[in-house]
């Protein structure tokens, strides 16, 4: 069966594949569109298998909210060139539309959602992979339901946020500002009560260890100063050697600095005031929670550095939950 230009155009419109790829698939399928499309999809599967070890760190993140429901989807690819391609972005928009319409329970359910009665969402991604020759992956899907939901997409399609409020009458300007807050400041929870206990325990343990190391470092610095040695000249073996060569430390001072660095840490650790350590660590944990929980953060839209909780109270808005997806390294 001869393949016409009209056939090629029709399949190109369906798949976005290149003209020669479409022509070859139609010829192999003897003009059958479904078989030709399946051939193109199998090419995508082959590319995905071949490039499975490649890093897909670029991509597109998009979110949308309407009628008390919002969703964010993210599809990864290998290069920024493909991530900005109009057909790739259109595919991500289509997947978001499907997520908003079908409201699948999780990422796997979204991947297996059937489109057009035959293909799944995952098939669409595989098909696009075959077109571009790059590894692709539907990597994230989150959703949020509340009386009112707002979505924010940051410029560049690498970051999106959803925020839900407890009332359909919640002030839209305030709600959208909070969406931007979530996107910009990456809070880990709504407030301290919503931070998992294991996270608090981990952060406290980190703070205790950091405080111990700080106290030991102070003891070493004090011992060096007492010996008449500038701590900055002896804070590592490399600096001791280089500063001795420069004449900033005498050979005797260099050896004395090495002795101090070798003996003082153990002595200082044995004499640590653990009550003081715990108090300082608790303060550091409090600082972490203030910086990392949404309502305690300084509001980015306020010149007077109001806290988010004060902005919400002033505008009579109560946040119920939020979601955030990013492809950026943080």
Alpha-carbon span 6 to 259, nearest angstrom: 84
**CA–CA gap between residue 68 and residue 263 (Å, rounded):** 63
pLDDT at 19 over 70: no
> What pLDDT is stored for residue 4 in this prediction?
64
The DSSP symbol for 193 reads G
Cβ neighbours for 312, distance < 8 A, ≥ 6 positions apart:
174, 178, 295, 318, 319
pLDDT number for residue 55: 76
- Neighbour-count burial of 293, counting CB atoms closer than 10 A to its CB (0-12 exposed, 13-18 middle, 19+ buried): buried
Distance CA 101, CA 146 (A): 16
Predicted pLDDT of residue 263 = 96
Spell out the domains of the chain, with CATH numbers in brackets: 5-50 (1.10.8.10), 58-188+317-326 (3.30.479.20), 197-291 (no CATH)
- Please write the tens of the pLDDT for every residue from 231-280: 999 999 999 999 999 999 999 999 999 999 999 999 999 999 999 999 99
- Of residues 41 and 165, more confidently modeled: 165
Closest CA to 131 of 216, 43, 61: 43
Distance CA 87, CA 181 (A): 30
Residue 45, pLDDT > 80, answer: no
Please give the Cα distance from 6 to 8 (Å, whole number): 5
Provide the mean pLDDT of the chain: 90
Distance, CA of 287 to CA of 294 (rounded, Å): 13
Are 107 and 138 within 8 A, CB to CB? Answer: yes
177-197 pLDDT per residue, tens: 999 999 999 999 999 999 999
pLDDT at 47: 60
* Residues 137, 125 contacting (CB under 8 angstroms): yes
pLDDT value, residue 303: 85
Q: For residue 7, give the nearest of 133, 17, 127, 123 by alpha carbon.
A: 17
Q: How far apart are CA 53 and CA 55, in angstroms?
A: 7
What's the confidence (pLDDT) of residue 48? 57
Q: What is the pLDDT of residues 134-162, one digit of tens each?
A: 889 999 999 999 999 999 999 999 999 99
**DSSP secondary structure code for residue 3 in this structure:** P
Among 45-49, 99-103, 111-115, 318-322, the range scoring the smallest mean pLDDT is 45-49
Is 294 or 20 the better-scoring residue by pLDDT? 294
In the three-class reduction of DSSP (H, G, I as helix; E, B as strand; rest coil), residue 109 is classed as helix
């Amino acid at each position: 069966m001869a393949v016409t230009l009209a056939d090629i155009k029709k399949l190109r419109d369906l798949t976005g594949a290149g003209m020669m790829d479409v022509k070859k698939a139609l010829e192999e399928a003897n003009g059958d569109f479904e078989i030709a499309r399946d051939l193109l999809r199998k090419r995508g599967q082959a590319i995905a298998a071949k490039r499975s070890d490649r890093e897909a760190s670029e991509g597109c993140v998009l979110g949308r909210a309407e009628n008390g429901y919002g969703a964010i989807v993210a599809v990864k690819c290998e290069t920024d060139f493909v991530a900005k391609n109009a057909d790739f972005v259109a595919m991500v928009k289509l997947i978001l539309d499907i997520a908003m319409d079908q409201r699948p329970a999780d990422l796997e359910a979204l991947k297996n959602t059937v489109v057009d009665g035959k293909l799944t969402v995952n098939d669409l991604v595989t098909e696009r992979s075959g077109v571009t020759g790059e590894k692709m992956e539907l990597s994230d899907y989150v959703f949020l339901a509340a009386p009112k939901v707002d979505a924010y997409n940051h410029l560049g399609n690498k970051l999106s946020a959803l925020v839900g409020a407890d009332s359909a009458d919640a002030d839209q300007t305030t709600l959208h500002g909070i969406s931007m807050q979530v996107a910009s400041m990456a809070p880990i929870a709504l407030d301290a009560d919503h931070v998992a206990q294991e996270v608090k325990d981990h952060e406290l343990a980190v703070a205790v260890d950091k405080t111990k190391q700080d106290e030991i470092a102070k003891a070493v610095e004090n011992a060096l100063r007492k010996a008449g040695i500038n701590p900055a000249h002896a804070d590592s073996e490399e600096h001791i050697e280089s500063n001795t060569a420069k004449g900033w430390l005498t050979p005797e001072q260099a050896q004395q600095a090495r002795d101090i660095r070798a003996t003082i840490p153990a002595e200082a650790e044995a004499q640590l005031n653990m009550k003081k350590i715990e108090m300082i660590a608790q303060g550091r944990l409090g600082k972490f929670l203030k910086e990392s929980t949404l309502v305690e953060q300084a509001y980015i839209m306020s010149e007077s550095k109001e806290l988010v909780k004060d902005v919400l109270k002033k505008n009579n808005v109560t946040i119920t939950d939020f979601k955030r997806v990013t492809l950026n390294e943080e």
